[in-house]
Amino acid sequence: MTNTTLDALKPGLHATVEIVVGTRDTAAHVGSGKIGVLATPILVTLLESAALQAVERYMPPGQQTVGTRLDISHTAATPVGMRVRARAELVKVDGRKLTFTLHAEDEGETIAGGTHERLIISVDRFDQRMQKKMERGSAKS
């Protein structure tokens, strides 16, 4: 990790992503329930995307962040047709570990909150590890 990356990654960086809930975003569609409201897996994707967007532009070539921990409460349902905003704010930088607070709301209320951790990785090293894992896996078959 370069010093430039370390210098740019400071608490307070944030990003927001939005969607209008469609039928493909519902628990019934993704298999996480039988109700036609925003599915928790879709909400997780929105929250993680906001965290990624908050720091993505500060990653030098060859480095990326990956999610390693997620702790959320999904506290209110959102019907199809309603807009959802998911926000992530970087609150701590500890070497390669980045910690975010998360918040999501629909047009009527707060629907989720929590924390998320991401780790800065070397893409080349990560790809090499995945290749070795694939080789080990295919050798067992």
| Enzyme catalytic residues | 40, 48, 74
Q: Which residues of 99-117 are buried (b: 16+ CB within 10 A; e: fewer)?
A: bbbbbbbbeeeebbbbbbb
Classify residue 132 by burial, with Cβ atoms within 10 Å: 0-12, 13-18, 19+: exposed
Residue 106: both structure tokens together: 């629909």
Residue 111 tokens read as: 């629907």
